[in-house]
Chains A and B, each alone.
Chain A
Amino acid sequence: MTLPFQGIGASVRRKEDLRFISGRGHYTDDINRPGQLHAYIKRSDRPHAKILSIDTAAAKAAPGVVAVFTGADTAALGSIPCGWQIHNKDGSPMAEPRHPMLAEGFVRHVGDQIAVVIAETRQQAKDAAELLAVEMEDLPSVANVTDAIKPGAGVVHEGIAGNLCYDWHIGDKAAMEAAFAQAAHVVTLDLTNNRLIPNAMEPRAALGDFDSSTDDYTLYTTSQNPHVIRLLMGAFVLGLPEHKLRVVAPDVGGGFGSKIYHYAEEAIVTWAAGKLKRPVKWTAERSESFMSDAHGRDHVSTARLALDKDGTFLALHVQTLSNMGAYLSTFATAVPTYLYATLLAGVYTTPAIYAEVKAVFTNTVPVDAYRGAGRPEATYLLERLVDAAAHDTGMDRIAIRRKNFIPRDAFPYQTPVALQYDSGDYFTTLDMAMKHADWAGFPARRAEAAQRGKLRGIGVSTYLEACGIAPSKVVGSLGARAGLYEVANVRVHPTGSVSVFTGTHSHGQGHETTFAQLVTDQLGVPFSQVDVVHGDTAKIPFGMGTYGSRSLAVGGSAMVKAMDKIIAKGKKIAAHLMEASADDIEFKDGKFTVAGTDKVKTLGEIALTAYVPHNYPIEELEPGLDETAFYDPKNFTFPGGCHICEVEIDRDTGVVRVVNFTAVDDVGRVVNPMIVEGQVQGGVAQGIGQALLENAAYDADGQLLSGSFMDYTMPRADDLPNFNVSTENTMCTHNPLGSKGCGEVGAIGSPPAVINAVVDALRDYGVRHLDMPATSAKIWGIIEAGRPKMAAE
């Protein structure tokens, strides 16, 4: 029987999908432990206040209530930690205020945890929470970064002057200034990267369990990285050693970054389970998600580009205010620095770049990495700025890009902002995207649309991003408080089936399929004989989890390394069985052969021998066929590509429709083309959402105005066209797979393509820039304001 090809490059159907689409997934909230209690968290409805008193007596006396805890009970425990320390321009460390599990005297954002009520049922906990008497005194508050740094603004944390977390910079200021002094053109653009609320389909949940007979704690949680949670919560917050704390992240229904971080609720239920000697479960309601899941983006920037008279970029100067929210979430501080400012070279040869970033506290939900994390902000700024440069200088948008692209033969390419790109070909992705989008035919389509009364525009974005953040030595020197390698354990069972234990985590990405394909490809084991296991610190040796599109490039590479060890050991066993030298053994398609002979042993035979070592080189080799590898990458990977968006605007209402969207991405080696296409489509949908629809709106004081789906516009299927998605790949040169990562490219490349298209559609109205989201109301305002001007001309 010939099996269909299911190795690298095959669009194998996702093996996890039957479970998910038939309701047999097993999520955190599906787990129930004997004697389980339920936690309800009383949250602040005020943006900033001093807690004068909390009277818990009535709540404690309510039916079914087992305990009520406030900040007074948890004050001796550690602070929710921040995983990355940034240093100021002057070398001093960033301001790092305490981030308590439960509010200690102050609430600092709407949604901040004041108290937890634990009862026999969720209903009872919720009922009792209404009996909590919390006396508060409002304090001056501030929601946006530009207000927060003004003198006299509300102070989020006592003692942190000007609400400044850090004032950081990168690049060569003198070189930048010298280049600007020589420039023929200087293009300036002020722009905002709108705040987003992630809204994974599954709300966050956490279940803490404690076994008083062994003192073992277990936390079941909606996490993208259970080992990281074990480290952060165990070591920094609760003081629990690793061997007494197991963290399980079972099926997780979407993360997009929001489930990377260690959240207070995880520590609360774990600590409370130990205290009460009973399991404690908390599951967020959707409205809680809006005000307690880390938000994304929220930058305000000024960018200046210096060009010579021919349009060659000479220098870039960027000043950014980044909103941290009220507390520092796990990776919040790294996002606007090492995941943002280091990307400001983009795909261009700009020789001098200087970026200054101020991270600012406000009375809002903490902000952290959200699909793309820093790279969408950099890409949006750069690709809008390049379009503005074309606009201001009269150059063609495509020509100015081509003129400044990093040449194909310039790799490895060292940027002036720390990164060294290993590979890429921005000319090919641009050419292919223009072809697929029929760029040349656009003027005719615009004219035809005009006859229908529509304003049609086309926009391009040529982007680059960085995935698989690494190596550990470098990120450590930059302030990371963890390593960024990945771990794989490959276990060949006695009869030849394989279990792979990976430190990455799948919450929609399809790892169970993609990683099984790697095993099928490398070990020649049928796809059906491979299982991928993830999400449990008791099963997986170690791992850093899934974010930053790292799972295949870093986690997959660890698997390749572990399988290399399997093959090396298998060769020794095969050599013994076939009475040959190990150097003469070849391994291909699941078979060990002696070179130049017809002697053959299958992997299954070798595995059986390894576990039943009756005829075995026991003096030289241990039994078993089970190998672990830790893989620490040499560099980031650098996916890139070109997105082209075409929009039509209804003059009467200002409504923007995306009518065509073309993506040609370079993601390196593709293991499963169908899954890659799905990843890109999902990312593009989120990018279009940011560009046209989504906005976390706060009033000036910090009340969340878009606190539900009634007011927060999530993109829906009918907001989106069919996407034309393809890849043109160059290989990553430093990992064994050649893969670069595909999880975020869609969300990174698309927003500027959309806005560039909207601006193009509105070019007759004198529009040079507009901020996201390009809502119909905003565009109608522009059209209205432009009407008299149009009439006069």
Chain B
Amino acid sequence: MYDFAFQTPASVADAVKLLADPEARPLAGGQTLIPVLKQRLNKPTTVVDLSRLGLSGITVSGTTLTIGATTTHRTVARSAEVKQLIPALAALAGMIGDPAVRYRGTIGGSLANNDPTADYPSAALALGATIKTSARSIAADEYFQGMFATALQPGEIITAIEFTAPEKAAYEKFSNPASRYAMVGVFVARGPKGVRVTVTGAGQNGVFRHTAFEAALSKSWSPDALNGIATPVDSMNADIHGSAEYRAHLVGVVAKRAVAKTL
């Protein structure tokens, strides 16, 4: 990696101040940023460590679950509160990467990065989460803006994510055999936002809602309801691991398996 300054601010305000430098980069769990730095693909002036901002932790208020931005995947996966209120979210966190990644990686880091093969964006979008930042609250529907693109403004950092418990929800994924990132990940939910089906990993433009699946599941919440409903091939990724046709097919398979998990 290139040389950079390293700062560990003690408050969100100080962090935001440091991130006013457009060449500064925030560091949450570092599961993306550190490899990128090691490969010299990014040359920040300053790396701003977000670990001392007091943004880790899980709170419950009625049916609302709030997860601090720097809460690790491991903590979410093992949280009794998350398991009780939104078990699908705990299960998803437990499926991210490997134990080393789950010990370091954070929910806020994942959502801020919005990797098109990350798991969390599918949950946030399907559950209609609210992304709380240093400046405002952003609805998930407005937050995701294509791969690696979000509604976050320069210098704005996520502080917490607020979820409302759904009636039913589940996440299922088909992992890339090499990287084990989601080749196709599908989150299905039925709750205050109605029926939602979100797909990560497969699409050319990051996480998306599968409206045809949503319509079918609104009529009948069952795997068979998805029979014969195609996923548009031309919006799918293709690479050495699988064609767009294969991914489109897997979206259906994985969605059915996710629905089956809720029954």
- Chain A residues in contact with chain B, CB under 8 A? 123, 126-127, 287, 652-654, 693, 695, 697, 705-706, 709-714, 775-777, 780-781, 784
Contacts and interface: CB of A to CB of B under 8 A. Distances in A.
A776 B253 CA distance: 13
Interface string B178-190: 1100000000000
Given A652-B253, A653-B250, A777 B178 contact: no
B36 to A, nearest CB: 12
Nearest to A123: B3
23 contacts: A652-B253, A653-B250, A653-B253, A693-B177, A695-B240, A697-B240, A705-B240, A706-B240, A709-B178, A710-B179, A711-B178, A711-B179, A711-B239, A711-B240, A713-B177, A713-B178, A714-B178, A775-B241, A775-B242, A776-B177, A780-B246, A781-B246, A784-B249
Contacts of A711: 178-179, 239-241
B211 interface: no
B221 interface: no
A780 B241 contact: no
Contacts of A123: 3
Contact of A777 (B3, B39, B241, B253): B241
A775 B178 contact: no
Nearest to B38: A285
Contacts of B11: none
Given A777-B246, A780-B246, A709 B179 contact: yes
A791 to B, nearest CB: 15
Given A123-B3, A695-B240, 9 more contacts: A126-B40, A652-B253, A709-B178, A710-B178, A711-B178, A713-B178, A775-B177, A777-B242, A781-B243
A779 to B, nearest CB: 10
Nearest to A654: B246
Interface in B104-145: none
B243 A777 contact: yes
A652 B249 CA distance: 9
B241 to A, nearest CB: 6
Contacts of A709: 178-179
A777 B2 CA distance: 39
The 7 A-B pairs at the shortest CB distance, nearest first, are namely: A777-B242, A713-B178, A710-B179, A713-B177, A652-B253, A777-B246, A697-B240
Most buried by B among A127, A695, A714, A780: A780
A711 B249 CA distance: 21
Nearest to A653: B253
Interface in B1-17: 2-3
A2 to B, nearest CB: 45
Most buried by A among B2, B246, B250: B246
Interface string B188-230: 0000000000000000000000000000000000000000000
Nearest to A710: B179
Contacts of B249: 780, 784
Contacts of A784: 249
Contacts, number: 42
Query: Helix, strand, loop or mixed for chain A's interface?
Result: loop
A547 to B, nearest CB: 28
B186 to A, nearest CB: 13
A776 B246 CA distance: 9
B20 to A, nearest CB: 27
Contacts of A697: 240
A755 to B, nearest CB: 17
A283 to B, nearest CB: 14
Contacts of A693: 177
A710 B243 CA distance: 17
Contacts of B242: 775-777
A47 B239 CA distance: 20
A781 B242 CA distance: 10
Interface string B230-263: 0000000001111100100110010000000000
Contacts of A654: 246
B116 to A, nearest CB: 13
B47 to A, nearest CB: 16
A123 B249 CA distance: 46
A706 B241 CA distance: 10
B178 A653 contact: no
A434 to B, nearest CB: 31
Contacts of B177: 693, 713, 775-776
B233 to A, nearest CB: 13
Contacts of A652: 253
Contacts of A713: 177-178
Nearest to A714: B178
A572 B208 CA distance: 86
Contacts of B250: 653
B254 to A, nearest CB: 9
A320 B52 CA distance: 62
Interface string B36-60: 0001100000000000000000000
Contacts of B241: 711, 775, 777
A525 B239 CA distance: 59
Contacts of A653: 174, 250, 253
B178 A712 contact: yes
Contacts of B178: 706, 709-714
A709 B2 CA distance: 23
B256 to A, nearest CB: 8
Contacts of A695: 240
Most buried by B among A287, A710, A781: A710
Most buried by A among B3, B39, B178, B246: B178
A330 B57 CA distance: 57
Contacts of A712: 178
B141 to A, nearest CB: 30
Contacts of B3: 123
A775 B241 CA distance: 8
Most buried by B among A123, A706, A776: A776
Contacts of B2: 127
A474 B168 CA distance: 73
Contacts of B243: 777, 781
B257 to A, nearest CB: 9
B38 to A, nearest CB: 9
A705 B241 CA distance: 11
Contacts of B40: 126
Contacts of A777: 241-243, 246
A698 to B, nearest CB: 10
Nearest to A127: B2
A329 to B, nearest CB: 25
A710 B246 CA distance: 19
B150 to A, nearest CB: 22
A126 B40 CA distance: 10
Contacts of A775: 177, 241-242
Nearest to A715: B177
B117 to A, nearest CB: 10
Contacts of A706: 178, 240
A62 to B, nearest CB: 13
B244 to A, nearest CB: 11
A126 B39 CA distance: 11
Most buried by B among A705, A706, A777, A781: A777
A287 B39 CA distance: 9
B184 to A, nearest CB: 9
